[in-house]
Amino acid sequence: MTTQPTTPPRPRSSGRPRPAAEDRLAPEDASTSPPVEGGEDVGLPSPRGMIQGLVATFTRPGPMARETVRLGQEGLRILRGTDEIAPSPKDKRFADPAWSSHPGYRRLAQSYVAAAAALDRLVADFEAGGADWREVEQVRFVLNALTSAAAPTNTLLGNPAALKRAFDTAGASVLRGFRNALHDLVRNGGLPRQVDRSAFTVGEDLGITPGAVVHRDEVIEVIQYTPSTPRVRQRPLVIVPPPIGRFYFLDLRPGRSLVEYAVSRGLQVFMVSWRNPTRDQAEWGLDEYAQGVVTAVDVAREVTGSADATTLGLCAGGQVMTTALNHLAANGDDRVHAAGYAVTLLDFSNRAPLGAFSGPRMLDVARRNSARRGVITSRQMGSMFTWMRPDDLIFNYLVSQWLMGEDPPAFDILAWNADGTNLPARLHEQFLDIFGQNALVKPGALRVLGTPVHLSRITVPTFVTGALTDHITPWDGCYRTTQLLSGPSTFVLSYSGHIQSLVNPPGNPKSRYWTDGEPGPDPHAWRAKAQEHTGTWWEPWADWTIERSGDEVPAPETLGSSAHPVLEPAPGSYVRDRVPARA
């Protein structure tokens, strides 16, 4: 059934540097919007689990006695001014010269660093004592949040840069900061805003690569982009973004758009744009989303007249794409010729900070909450990712806006990050199984489109990327995909973090990536031999895709076809739905 949704109206230097783009979170991270109240409701560690882990950490007599003595000795040296402990030069919280030149502030910083280091050692001892790594990650998550919150730089008197700003502005910065804090306490869940969303409008500032919606159903819109070269490759490319978050992080602005770049390389690009579900779509799961991928491939094939297509799945979109590829492979269907993966985890057995959220009790709570509500919102889902990086994603903004009195920044990727979508309860439950039970890699543990998932069935050539400093989907976990699928695979390692690895256009002289030959079973052995290149993974990915995209043909003069006519210009309606239309 085809639906025609209504489109709602569209809204239109500090003492602490802004976090780098790679510190933003990923699409399947949902959003880094502040959490709503109630830790269990938003996916934060449950109070019971937190208390159990902390009690286990702090009731080990040997480590506690040792750290108490050590901290006391360091405290005496700090008071005497003879201790050489200091914050890391990379810790921008303590960049102001007062932290090294003023005796009081220097001792305050040293005391904070000493206490935080003692807590880190206690966690290390807890792990050395045989604790499960997931318990360790949960304790580390909680203590990281607490120590970040306790930093003296989060208070006016404890932040010399904020005090200087107050003096220089005759108190105006304090008044502006109070206004910002009051607004956020009332309207933003009690945490500082990360971005001024009114500075950008989707379709006018963001997501503006020319194209048109050529298919719409209850689950997806398919966007075909206008060629920018006189000749194009015959085989189309279908991009599968994650089902939570808007697709336009792949089409931010001219010069920062993967779509624009792919079109400029002569690829015929089609984009899946997921609908923003409500509780009416609570039963949508991997069946509906995998079918959306298959449908998008069929639309691209029909419009271009190609027998098959290539695909690119990003983050959780890569997981959905995998279930569709599995279904096609099981049925001997070769309509997908080759597939790319970007920062996608299929195997969750490797250690990662996300393990803090993989305890059975927390997963059960998350299931119950989403089942009760019908959806989990990006705000709820994103809270845990926010608290994984509290210095960058919470207290950085608290300092700049509440203490310095600055306005929220106008930054495109943050505007996208705050523009989240819902996840249906059924799909959320299945993602929890993939996360908590590692269901994708266990043959037959999942059935999608009536087909048991066996990753080894997938034999198409694959291009796999990971990001070196990615804390959401660690690169060596992404690398594992090359060993799980049966086809020939190419792996490219990007230098950056989760989001910056995706929004990573050529031209940045600091960008680099690593390549090597056929990936073997050991990711770190691959890394040791890999060759470093200046540039971005977009370039070798485009080369790889072009090689598998058939001959050049004249670019089409119009978009769509008689079977799939143009419905409206890109970026379409689903990407702008605030309150989704009912089917």
- Does residue 228 sit in the same domain as residue 119? no
> Domain of 352?
211-402+411-576
Residue 102 located in a structural domain: yes
- Does residue 93 sit in the same domain as residue 235? no
Q: Which of 107, 123, 150 is the last residue of a domain?
A: 150
Contact 159/15 with Cβ under 8 angstroms? yes
* Per-residue pLDDT of the chain in tens (583 residues, 90 and over written 9): 434 333 333 333 333 333 333 333 333 333 333 333 333 333 445 555 557 667 778 888 888 999 999 999 999 999 999 988 999 999 999 999 999 999 999 999 999 999 999 999 999 998 888 887 778 888 888 899 999 999 999 999 999 999 999 999 999 999 999 999 999 999 888 889 988 888 899 999 999 999 999 999 999 999 999 999 999 999 999 999 999 889 999 999 999 999 999 999 999 999 999 999 998 999 999 999 999 999 999 999 999 999 999 999 999 999 999 999 999 999 999 999 999 999 999 998 876 656 545 555 555 656 666 677 788 776 676 666 677 788 888 999 999 999 999 999 888 988 888 888 888 989 988 988 888 889 999 999 999 999 999 999 999 999 999 999 988 899 999 999 999 999 999 999 999 888 888 999 999 899 999 999 889 999 999 999 999 999 999 999 999 999 999 999 999 999 999 999 999 999 999 999 864 433 3
- Does residue 101 sit in the same domain as residue 245? no
- Does residue 253 sit in the same domain as residue 345? yes
Report the CATH number at residue 427.
Answer: 3.40.50.1820
- Does residue 422 sit in the same domain as residue 566? yes
- Does residue 337 sit in the same domain as residue 464? yes
3-state helix, strand and coil shares in percent for the chain, rounded to the nearest 5: 45, 15, 40
Q: Which of 150, 171, 202 is the last residue of a domain?
A: 150
What is the value of pTM for the model shown?
0.83
Residue 581 located in a structural domain: no
Annotated active-site positions, please?
315
Residue 10 located in a structural domain: no
- Does residue 142 sit in the same domain as residue 256? no
Residue 164 located in a structural domain: no
- Does residue 430 sit in the same domain as residue 555? yes
- Does residue 323 sit in the same domain as residue 428? yes
In order of 54, 197, 201, 364, the CA distances from 370 in angstroms are 28, 27, 30, 10
Residue 501 located in a structural domain: yes
Residue 28 located in a structural domain: no
Residue 103 located in a structural domain: yes
- Does residue 259 sit in the same domain as residue 385? yes
- Does residue 136 sit in the same domain as residue 251? no
Please report which helix (H) or strand (E) contains residue 239, including its range: strand 237-240
Residue 264 located in a structural domain: yes
Q: Which of 129, 150, 171 is the last residue of a domain?
A: 150
Contact 473/345 with Cβ under 8 angstroms? yes
- Does residue 228 sit in the same domain as residue 103? no
Q: How many other C-beta atoms are found inside a 10 Å radius of the C-beta of residue 158?
A: 16
> CA-to-CA distance for 466 and 479, rounded, in angstroms?
7
> Total domain count for the chain?
2
> CA-to-CA distance for 453 and 484, rounded, in angstroms?
12
| Lookup: tokens for 7 | 């489109």
Pairing outcome for strands 447-448 and 231-233: unpaired
